[in-house]
Structure 1
Amino acid sequence: MQLTQSLHRNISQRPDQIAVIEGESHYSYRELGERVASAAAALRQLGVQDGERVAILSLNSSVYLEYVMAVPWAGGALNPVNIRWTANEIAYSLDDSDTRILLVDDTFLPLMEKVQALSTSLQTLIYCGQQETPSGMLNYQQLVRDTAPMDDCERCGDQLGGVFYTGGTTGFPKGVMLSHTNLVGSSIAVVAENVITDGARYLHAAPMFHMADFAMMMAVYMRGGVHVVNPAFDPTLVLDSIAKEQISHVLLVPTMVQMTLAHPEFERFDLSSLDTIIYGASPMPLDTVNTAMQKIPHVGFIQAYGMTELAPLATVSGKENHTQAGLDSGRIRSAGRAGALQQVKIVDPTGQEMPRGEVGEVIVKGPNVMLGYWNKPEATAEAIRGGWMHTGDAAWMDDGGYIYIADRLKDMIISGGENIYSAEVENILMQHPAIASCAVIGIPSQEWGEAVHAVLVSATGEELDLETLQQHCREKIAGYKIPRSLEWKEALPLSGAGKILKTELRKPWWQDQDQGVS
């Protein structure tokens, strides 16, 4: 398996088909292949050796799509940088992975002075923006124009395909080493589950640096589809792109789906081409699913669950579960079943498989399980045991093999000796029409060890008091799970992948405590 194989296939079989649409720019697969081969040759001339990391810090763009193919074509390894990071975090990731070359666009130029001052490894900056090239940087477009194309180095199999850093929500981020087999294997499973279908017109609205969009990108290449690029998520731009470019598939996290459905002019956009919305990062609130079923009944929803260490796929919940039948059966709450190339089990702390219906840790085995963490052998040994990736997610499995995520193990609240899964409480809170989004965390309690605390964002401008919120919960969940306190915020802190940063919400409560969060 090699990352570039699908591009070769498309160049051979559909050279004149449009491959990339970005604004008014269009590239065929033949043109894309020529640009990739020239960009790869330029990287090689800059000294990129086999397996050497090449980074990019950029919003979504056609250059990003070229980078994903050009770096392995040159024999290098990908290092997509999280666009939400500070200069300190960026410099850490570059130095940790010994990355010498960084592509950067206009948006992130203001960070470069500080990144260069902090980083000891960074030597070459390649500017891939639209303005005049800053002093001391090389120009990406000029490198592509002026460099003769090269043959593909054809790295493959267990050779390093990229170092993908985790979000850094707990301490310093870890570099996840993913091989060509890991990355291609995960995308083959995406294709096998018909998440992306032949000839798809896929909209890149979620950030390309994140593994979820990366997996879709590779699946679109495999299906010979069209990549339509939005620089970043914006509800108006998403709706306009779907209508204008006849988009069939898009990946959005639940918060993005909510914002898109709530667009004040939603009804004026022609969404008849849209076939599939893929989502992940967190469960889809039932109210959002119900709204979608009313507003866009012809569109199917697919949930993909996984993590960076799995490149990223573990399970898939298909369109059949996002229907009235799925609501009736309860499987709409499921994260789905193991992908075509994956094995999934729910185990206790000793590694023994749990009986169906009982909560334990999700572990995954397959060709997509990472090589390990960059320069962290102890963390690797802790995460991968006997070939199984221990995800740190708590879940249970039904008799049909569907898993139901209860919580991150680290997010589990232990109050008075009772285990409380915050996702369960959040699902109940999200059923209240005054709540737009929420996060449930454990905060210090002298009496109970931890108490349930709700952090809320208003949907209407109205802020419920605690008694009203508790009354809403009382008939739906056990008393010990009901929030004992609440706070309202304008917005919840999100990672680049759209996940709520509960670590940031906990920090003011726990930073001066002798006891740590469970």
Structure 2
Amino acid sequence: MYLTQALHRAVQQTPDLAATVFGERVRTWAQSADRAARLAAAFHGLGVRGGDRVAILAQNCDDYHDFLFAAPWADAVAVPVNTRWSAQEIAFSLQDCGAVVLVIDDAFLHMVDDLKELAPGVRAYIHTGQRQRPADVHGFEDLIATHAPVEDARRGGDSLAAIYYTGGTTGTPKGVMLSHANLMAAALGALATGQFLAPRGRLLHSAPMFHLADGSGWLARNVVGGSHVILPGFTPESVADAVERYQITDMFLAPTMIQMLVDSPAAAQRDLSSLKHLIYGASPISQAVLERAMRLLPQAKLLQAYGMTELSPTTTVLTAEDHLDPELLRSAGRAVPIAEVKVVGEDDNEVPPGTVGEVAARGPHVMLGYWNRPEETAQALRGGWMHTGDGGYLDEHGYLFIVDRLKDMIVSGGENVYSAEVENALAQHPSVATCAVIGVPDADWGERVHAVVVLQDGASATAEELREHCGALIARYKAPRSVEFVDALPLTPAVKIDKRALRARYWDSESRSVN
């Protein structure tokens, strides 16, 4: 299996069908293949060789689609970069994976000089967009126009296809290595549920394309054919408009996006009847929001996909039929056909149904490992199972229920935030003596990042000051949304910060310890 396989099939079967729609610009599948072949040639001309990493830092656009095909066509490894990160985080990921080329769009063109200094390993920059670019930055369209197509390397199987960076428990992002087989197996597993996407339909991309939650939809749409309708980003108004204008059949939204959509007057004012599938995931959803979405879109099948980047990313699906059973609305569904799921205790032995433990998964979708992190890879993949760090249980019918998070991680608005990242940033403020970061329930974001801070003797700081300080070092969505100043932090008998005690007053009244 290889990622460009679907592109060749589309050229053979539907060459004149729209592959991408981006604003007023429409490109066919034949054009997609030609552009991928020419961009791959340009990569070769810039010195990219087999297995080299090529990265992209851009908002959603049709050129992103071309890049995702061109990288494997050139026998390279794609690295989608999180557009919400700070320059330091972006540079770390580029240096960490050894990226040699970076595609960058208008929104980030101003970062080029900083990135050249912080990530000197990047040898060439390619600009996609309309702004004036520096003389030493190549033009995306110029490269495509001036290079003849090359043959597809048909890179596939267990060879590395992409590196997706996720938050790190030590405070720095870690690269998840995914093979062609990993990504294709996950897409096929989701499609094998029979409800994931409408064949040859239109998939709306409004969630960020750097995120594998959206990327899995891109892969699945390529497999079953059809068209990608791409928005630069999410607003409820633009999504409602696009569904009506383009007769969208399928879309993925994070729970916070669904809440914004159902709250928007635009949703009631537009014809959304073309929508056949609304897929959600990346974080839990409240039952109230879920029920409102079902009322807004009675004709659409709602599906919840649970997984993580390390699982390419889908492992369980709660089907449309499952959504009709009130007892299952808090479930994450059952294992997709290509996956096995079990729950294990501290000894890594499987526990009986109804018993809470750590969720583990096995199958062809499990990552190759973490880039240059053999110890963390061995720990995560011990015994041949991916240990997710999520606490949950299986019922007697194989439905998975997530009840806690074993990793010191917060999921806010569908984005993973590791506490260590925020604590490291906070600790660099001169007024902070010590701190702890936890996730607390939030009606809008599911969970919000909350900091508990002890100041240095005689020092002062405001919550906004600490938030601005963090925002200069890490992505702003990771910065604390709320700050609590205390005289001392609770400690465990082992003289470690007792985060369980800090969380207790926020979570003890909740039915589960994630939101």
TM-score range, shorter chain: 0.7 to 0.9
**How many residue pairs were aligned?**
450
Partner residue, 1:455: none
Q: Select 2:355's aligned residue among 355, 358, 380.
A: 358
Partner residue, 1:205: 206
Whole-angstrom CA distance in 1 between matches of 2:109 and 2:127:
9
Partner residue, 2:108: 108
Distance 1:436 1:3, change over 3 A: closer
Contact kept? 2:448, 2:480, Cα under 8 Å: no
Q: How many angstroms does 1:412 deviate by?
A: 9.4
The one-letter amino acid paired with 2:243 is I
Equivalence map 1:149-160=2 (5 Å): 149-160=149-160
Match of 1:247, SS state, is coil
Equivalence map 1:339-378=2 (5 Å): 339-378=336-375
Match of 2:496, SS state, is coil
**1:252 equivalenced with 2:253 (yes/no):** yes
Whole-angstrom CA distance in 2 between matches of 1:442 and 1:116:
34
Whole-angstrom CA distance in 2 between matches of 1:30 and 1:80:
24
Q: Unmatched 5+ residue regions in structure 2?
A: 411-437, 454-466, 490-494, 501-515
Match of 1:322, SS state, is helix
The percent identity for this pair of structures is 42
Contact kept? 1:156, 1:181, Cα under 8 Å: yes
Distance 1:96 1:185, change over 3 A: same
Partner residue, 2:230: 229
Partner residue, 1:290: 291
What is the aligned-residue RMSD (CA, Å)? 2.8
Whole-angstrom CA distance in 1 between matches of 2:45 and 2:255:
43
Q: How many angstroms does 1:410 deviate by?
A: 2.9
**1:515 equivalenced with 2:496 (yes/no):** yes
Equivalence map 1:175-186=2 (5 Å): 175-186=175-186
The one-letter amino acid paired with 1:331 is L
Match of 2:265, SS state, is coil
Distance 1:242 1:441, change over 3 A: closer
Q: How many angstroms does 1:108 deviate by?
A: 1.0
Match of 2:361, SS state, is strand
Whole-angstrom CA distance in 2 between matches of 1:119 and 1:440:
31
The one-letter amino acid paired with 1:310 is L
**1:391 equivalenced with 2:388 (yes/no):** yes
Match of 1:261, SS state, is helix
The one-letter amino acid paired with 2:30 is R
Equivalence map 1:439-450=2 (5 Å): 439=447
Task: Render the CA deviation track for 1:131-152: whole Å, top value 9, x for unaligned.
Answer: 2333210001011111100110
Whole-angstrom CA distance in 1 between matches of 2:298 and 2:171:
43
Partner residue, 2:331: 334
Q: How many angstroms does 1:18 deviate by?
A: 1.2
Whole-angstrom CA distance in 1 between matches of 2:486 and 2:346:
26
Q: How many angstroms does 1:162 deviate by?
A: 1.1
Partner residue, 1:56: 56
Higher relative contact order (CA 8 A, sep 6+): 2
Whole-angstrom CA distance in 2 between matches of 1:44 and 1:351:
46
Whole-angstrom CA distance in 2 between matches of 1:103 and 1:412:
30
Comparing 42-51 and 251-260, the one that deviates more: 42-51
Distance 1:117 1:508, change over 3 A: farther
The one-letter amino acid paired with 1:385 is R
Q: How many angstroms does 1:407 deviate by?
A: 1.9
The TM-score with structure 1 as length reference comes to 0.82
Partner residue, 2:460: none
The one-letter amino acid paired with 1:319 is A
Whole-angstrom CA distance in 2 between matches of 1:263 and 1:508:
32
The one-letter amino acid paired with 2:305 is A
Distance 1:352 1:38, change over 3 A: same
Q: How many angstroms does 1:163 deviate by?
A: 1.1
Task: Render the CA deviation track for 1:246-296: whole Å, top value 9, x for unaligned.
Answer: 001000000000001111232210111011110101122111122122222
Distance 1:371 1:104, change over 3 A: same
Q: How many angstroms does 1:297 deviate by?
A: 1.4
Comparing 86-95 and 169-178, the one that deviates more: 169-178
Task: Render the CA deviation track for 1:91-142: whole Å, top value 9, x for unaligned.
Answer: 1111111111000000111222211111121121100112233321000101
Q: How many angstroms does 1:510 deviate by?
A: 9.2
Contact kept? 1:20, 1:229, Cα under 8 Å: yes
Contact kept? 1:48, 1:76, Cα under 8 Å: yes
Whole-angstrom CA distance in 2 between matches of 1:511 and 1:145:
63
Whole-angstrom CA distance in 1 between matches of 2:136 and 2:448:
47
Match of 2:386, SS state, is strand
Distance 1:510 1:197, change over 3 A: farther
Match of 1:333, SS state, is coil
Contact kept? 1:190, 1:196, Cα under 8 Å: no
Partner residue, 2:426: none
Whole-angstrom CA distance in 1 between matches of 2:486 and 2:334:
36
Partner residue, 2:25: 25
Match of 1:164, SS state, is strand
The one-letter amino acid paired with 1:122 is V
Whole-angstrom CA distance in 1 between matches of 2:58 and 2:368:
26
Q: Unmatched 5+ residue regions in structure 1?
A: 414-421, 446-489
Q: How many angstroms does 1:505 deviate by?
A: 5.8
Q: Select 2:406's aligned residue among 396, 409, 423.
A: 409
Contact kept? 2:451, 2:484, Cα under 8 Å: no
Partner residue, 1:190: 190
Contact kept? 1:189, 1:339, Cα under 8 Å: yes
The TM-score with structure 2 as length reference comes to 0.82
Whole-angstrom CA distance in 1 between matches of 2:169 and 2:480:
8
Match of 2:321, SS state, is helix
Partner residue, 2:305: 304
Q: How many angstroms does 1:376 deviate by?
A: 0.5
Q: How many angstroms does 1:444 deviate by?
A: 7.5
Partner residue, 1:241: 242
Distance 1:205 1:444, change over 3 A: closer
